[in-house]
Amino acid sequence: MTSIKYLYCALALLGFLMILLASGSVIAAVLLNKSLQEPMYIFVCVLCANGIYGSVGFFPSLFVNLIGETQTITYIGCLIQMFCIHTYTAAEMSILALMAFDRYLCICNPLRYNGIMTLAVAYKLIVAAWLFVLIPFTIHFILTILLPLCGSSIVKIYCDNYSLVKLSCVDTTVNNIYGLFLTVAMVVMVPAFIVASYIQILRVCARSSMDFRKKSLQTCTPHLISLTNYVADILFEVLLHRFTLKNLPYELRIIMSVQAFVVPPLLNPVIYGLKMREIKLRIAHMFHINKIRVQEE
């Protein structure tokens, strides 16, 4: 049993290091090369940075629980992890929305794109996206802190808001209503905006030449992969909280619960690093890889 525990710990450590290496490589490639400091690449950089942020909030307590004899966390530590995890998940969706909007402008309004989506505008949009996440979730965080707790056991391998609210011994109607509002905003409204953007993109592609259509779809494919994977993970978490999924094996529930903190941070730098020729070339140059096959976009 001890050997299996250390195996899990080694796998978790490997995953964490791979996330840091892959995301860090993309971030370094963008920040160290002025030619890549364009809105599209800046958004990719922010997405990878958010993946690191979410991993730092998730993995340390996982390591401690895997190595330790008992799976415990302090109340303060639980609150910090809860805040990090929720802001990470919401920021991921917001950044994907910015990337969808950027692609919409580039493909549907190519002549006006450079005039509208300047670096200054991109930075303002990034700040706005984070404020859109931080302000409502800070309120959510404060509402949870004010609750007196009557229990201390969470049936999860990480702390989240809903698990803490269930431990309260007072009425939590306000918390539940506000939590439902945030869920609808992040899981319904933001994805709806992203889908609407891609519908417009597909309409333009349908009326364009084959070459333009191919280049546009190559640019949008990584975004769609990230969105599909992430929305599936978040929807599972929502269903797991709102409904009792006792028919699902416990191991499957655990895997699906942690997937949002492992797969997207690993997947995003890989698909963007491989799909975007400029980033791939810069990363290869950083690691002194002289021979690399790069398919022309």
In terms of phi and psi (left: phi > 0; alpha: psi -120 to 50; beta: otherwise), the region of 149 is beta
Q: Using CB atoms within 10 Å of the CB of residue 167, give its burial: 0 to 12 exposed, 13 to 18 middle, 19+ buried.
A: middle
Tell me: pLDDT of 32 over 90.
no
What pLDDT is attached to residue 269? 85
- One-letter amino acid at 40 equals M
What domains, with CATH codes, occur in the chain? 2-286 (1.20.1070.10)
Please give the torsion angle defined by the CA atoms of residues 106, 111, 117 and 119, in that order, rounded to the nearest 10 degrees: 110
Quickly tell me which residue has 């094996």 as its tokens. Answer: 249
pLDDT band (50, 70, 90) for residue 204: confident
Number of Cβ within a 10 Å radius of residue 222:
20
Tell me: pLDDT of 76 over 60.
yes
pTM reported for the whole predicted model: 0.85
